[in-house]
């Protein structure tokens, strides 16, 4: 009797999966599965060479749609979606689905990639094998073999490279497929003592359903936005040529030399630097830099990503990576990257949107000072509900500030949230010992309260304020250090919490004795530091140590993926751990809300916001009430969810 399958597929398609998602990749007419590697019940691995006539046994095909059989793969969404399409086309008698009927139900699928990331390991089967020290590791020749057999042939005269074109390579490819299954099995075995909790697997299954559902786009708007962008860039480039006399004003080197010849020395022409420079240069240089900024706007890339990703039913799928942020477990965006969409501030958003849909470049150019700016603000509006439905967008109010206040027991802040007051005003009032009103008394101090709140909650100091743009906003440099001191004095429990967490983590590493700070628990197990959150989910820090840092102080280090995506030793300390813990709890709060909203059609989520595609009669208040419910594992934390409804996605 089959209880579980461990699967790895080798496939081919002319669609670029990196740009277009596994959904577009698998739906292409020339998609096919070449090799089907599988282990049944953790037994011997069999590789079915489908390209050369092997057939997968009926009992395995049945098991693929049997919800009582657990299916494992590394990045299992790839295997699940590919098998969904393959079964529909070649073995419809074995295919069954859920929801909209396109894909295999994810509820019986588990992912060894998620298992690895949950335990603090790097992304990538090869990297995981190296970190865990497997004797049998992923074959390094895999990338070249995939290029040879899985992408269209670059050799004239044939569409694909086949086994008969390189028999030795094909034999190696089969060994590569077998080895991948072997490494996946080793991951499951090695990490069996550190399992992913069932409720996290439930979150993963919901994530897969949201990715399967996708979000609809307005194809006409996207098509015209790309066309208008091309016209705009050509016009702006021509203007810049006339102004500067340069052959290629888009060249950074040429433009920097032009500016230097006119007495303006610049190290960089990046957006931030150009915007600062434009404030001080003569008017003729202002125009040059303004045109440069408009040309450099990258908004069209989002539209192009939509066009590349969208399926035949106008929906873009596969936009979210479960556990994309290993330190916190937060989701990450993929492909279109909904997590970093430009905001929209146009008052006549609907009119601008309709002009773009009509392709009316002349009117846009007449009515608006920057057509690229309009296209940028309209990116969100390209996401639309299906006919007869609307979007409800609901998000948490100041959830991170609420969670940090709750964890640290900073009562005055919790009272602010309880009374529905503005945290930036109240923070400034406490710092400057006066009444601060958003549009009244001492309103100018609110900005200082806001930037302090955003920059200083996790041990940040003058550097954090500067990075947040404090000086650019007009706060004198000499006021930055006093601002830090005032915020910390106003929030003594948060400051104490940083160092309580620091002490607990160091004690656990040094003495191997579990410690708790409030409702967060620290413990070590087999060379791992685990931080158990109120939800029961754990954060993992691999091979923690206490070492002397560059300042001569004792510091916590652990193995992880650094900013250059290398597996290396990373330094941390109390405030940084508090940041991880707080953001991880906010992630768990969002996951709890998404579970509460499961009966609605969630089509996307962005940071602390959920986007629902719902019938017209659906109540906004009901959605916000469900979203704002406090999880039972953080009693006393007051949450608030606000929302709005719309016919296209926007930021209100």
Q: Which of 140, 162, 196 corresponds to the end of one domain?
A: 196
- Only one residue has tokens 């390991």, namely 121
Which residue segment(s) compose the domain that 621 sits in?
390-397+585-646
In a domain, 555, yes or no: no
In a domain, 128, yes or no: yes
**Residue 465 contacts by C-beta under 8 Å, 6 or more apart in sequence?**
451, 452, 455, 456, 475, 480, 483, 484
In a domain, 636, yes or no: yes
Same domain, 335 and 368: yes
Same domain, 53 and 161: yes
**Residue 180 contacts by C-beta under 8 Å, 6 or more apart in sequence?**
8, 37, 74, 125, 138, 142
In a domain, 290, yes or no: yes
Same domain, 191 and 241: no
CATH code at position 67: 3.30.420.10
Structure confidence at residue 117 (pLDDT): 96
**Phi-psi domain of 195 (left: phi exceeds 0; alpha: psi -120 through 50; beta: other):** beta
Question: 423-443: b or e for each residue (b if 16 or more CB lie within 10 Å)?
Answer: bbbbbbbbbbeeebeeeeebe
C-alpha to C-alpha distance for 278 and 67, rounded to whole angstroms: 61
Same domain, 118 and 239: no
**Residue 367 contacts by C-beta under 8 Å, 6 or more apart in sequence?**
352, 355
Dig out the tokens for 543 from the structure: 């091979």
Q: Which of 458, 490, 522 corresponds to the end of one domain?
A: 490
Same domain, 352 and 478: no
Same domain, 122 and 175: yes
Q: Which of 423, 457, 490 corresponds to the end of one domain?
A: 490
Structure confidence at residue 175 (pLDDT): 95
In a domain, 567, yes or no: no
Structural domain count, the chain? 4
- pTM value surpassing 0.85: yes
The tally of CA atoms less than 13 A away on the side-chain side of residue 636 is 12
Dig out the tokens for 334 from the structure: 């993929």
C-alpha to C-alpha distance for 323 and 320, rounded to whole angstroms: 9
- Taking alpha carbons only, the member of 37, 15, 34, 18 closest to residue 26 is 15
C-alpha to C-alpha distance for 123 and 113, rounded to whole angstroms: 7
Same domain, 228 and 301: yes
Q: Residue 282: exposed, middle, or buried by beta-carbon count in 10 A (0-12, 13-18, 19+)?
A: exposed
Structure confidence at residue 285 (pLDDT): 82
Same domain, 332 and 421: no
Is-contact 120 540, C-beta < 8 A? yes
In a domain, 548, yes or no: no
Encode pLDDT of 281-322 as tens digits.
888 888 888 888 888 776 689 999 999 999 999 999 999 999
CATH code at position 629: 3.30.70.370
Same domain, 62 and 185: yes
**Residue 79 contacts by C-beta under 8 Å, 6 or more apart in sequence?**
7, 8, 9, 71, 73
In a domain, 521, yes or no: no
Same domain, 190 and 244: no
- Only one residue has tokens 């595609």, namely 613
Structure confidence at residue 249 (pLDDT): 84
C-alpha to C-alpha distance for 258 and 215, rounded to whole angstroms: 45
Same domain, 233 and 343: yes
Structure confidence at residue 136 (pLDDT): 65
Same domain, 163 and 278: no
Low-confidence ranges of the chain (pLDDT < 70): 135-138, 298-299
Structure confidence at residue 309 (pLDDT): 97
Length of the chain: 652
C-alpha to C-alpha distance for 640 and 593, rounded to whole angstroms: 12
In a domain, 542, yes or no: no
């Amino acid at each position: 009797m089959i209880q579980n399958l461990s699967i790895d597929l080798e496939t081919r398609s002319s669609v670029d999966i990196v740009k277009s998602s596994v959904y577009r990749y698998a739906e292409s007419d020339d998609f096919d599965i070449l090799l089907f590697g599988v282990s049944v019940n953790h037994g011997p691995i069999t590789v079915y060479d489908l390209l050369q006539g092997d057939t997968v046994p009926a009992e395995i095909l049945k098991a693929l749609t049997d919800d009582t059989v657990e299916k494992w793969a590394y990045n299992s969404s790839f295997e699940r979606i590919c098998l969904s399409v393959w079964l529909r086309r070649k073995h419809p008698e074995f295919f069954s689905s859920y929801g909209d009927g396109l894909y295999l139900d994810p509820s019986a699928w588990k992912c060894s990639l998620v298992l690895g990331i949950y335990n603090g390991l790097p992304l990538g089967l090869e990297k995981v094998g190296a970190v865990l020290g497997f004797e049998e590791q992923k074959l390094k020749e895999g990338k070249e073999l995939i290029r040879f057999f899985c992408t269209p042939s670059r050799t004239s005269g044939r569409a694909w490279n086949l086994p008969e074109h390189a028999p030795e390579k094909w034999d190696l490819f089969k060994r590569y497929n077998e080895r991948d299954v072997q490494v996946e099995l080793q991951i499951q075995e090695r990490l069996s003592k550190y399992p992913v909790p069932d409720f996290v697997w439930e979150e993963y299954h919901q994530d897969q359903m949201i990715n399967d559902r996708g979000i609809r786009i307005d194809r006409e708007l996207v098509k015209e936005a790309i066309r208008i962008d091309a016209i705009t860039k050509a016009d702006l480039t021509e203007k810049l040529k006339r102004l500067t006399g340069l052959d290629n004003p888009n060249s950074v080197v040429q433009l920097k030399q032009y500016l230097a010849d006119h007495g303006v020395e610049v190290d960089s022409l990046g957006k931030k630097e150009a915007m600062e420079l434009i404030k001080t240069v003569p008017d003729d240089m202002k125009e040059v830099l303004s045109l440069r900024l408009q040309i450099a706007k990258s908004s069209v890339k989002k539209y192009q990503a939509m066009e590349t990703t969208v399926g035949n039913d106008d929906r873009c799928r596969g936009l979210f990576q479960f556990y994309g942020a290993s330190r916190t477990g937060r989701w990450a965006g993929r492909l279109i990257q909904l997590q970093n969409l430009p905001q929209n501030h146009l008052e006549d958003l609907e009119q601008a949107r309709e002009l773009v849909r009509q392709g009316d470049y002349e009117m846009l150019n007449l009515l608006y000072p920057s057509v690229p700016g309009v296209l940028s603000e309209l990116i969100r509006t390209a996401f639309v509900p299906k006919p007869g439905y609307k979007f409800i967008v609901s998000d948490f109010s100041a959830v991170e500030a609420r969670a940090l206040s709750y964890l640290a027991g900073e009562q005055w802040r919790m009272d602010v949230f309880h009374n529905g007051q503005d945290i930036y005003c109240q923070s400034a009032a406490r710092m400057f010992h006066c009444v601060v009103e958003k549009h009244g008394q001492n309103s100018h101090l609110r900005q200082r309260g806001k930037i302090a709140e955003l920059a200083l909650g996790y041990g940040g100091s003058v550097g954090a304020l500067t990075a947040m743009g404090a000086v650019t906003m007009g706060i004198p440099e000499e006021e930055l250090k006093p601002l830090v001191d005032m915020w910390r004095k106003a929030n003594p429990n948060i400051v104490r919490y940083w160092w309580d967490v620091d002490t607990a983590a160091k004690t656990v590493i040094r003495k191997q004795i579990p410690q708790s700070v409030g409702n967060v628990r620290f413990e070590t197990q087999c060379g791992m530091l685990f931080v158990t959150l109120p939800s029961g989910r754990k954060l993992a820090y691999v091979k923690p140590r206490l070492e002397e840092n560059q300042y001569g102080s004792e510091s916590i280090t652990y193995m992880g993926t650094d900013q250059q995506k290398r597996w290396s030793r990373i330094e941390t300390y109390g405030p940084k751990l508090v940041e991880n813990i707080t953001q991880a709890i906010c992630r768990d709060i969002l996951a709890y809300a998404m579970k509460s909203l499961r009966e609605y059609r969630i089509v996307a989520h962005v940071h602390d916001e959920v986007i629902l595609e719902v019938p017209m009669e659906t109540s906004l208040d009901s959605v916000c009430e469900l979203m704002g419910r406090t999880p039972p594992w953080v009693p006393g934390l007051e949450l608030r969810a606000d929302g709005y409804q719309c016919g296209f996605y926007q930021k209100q």
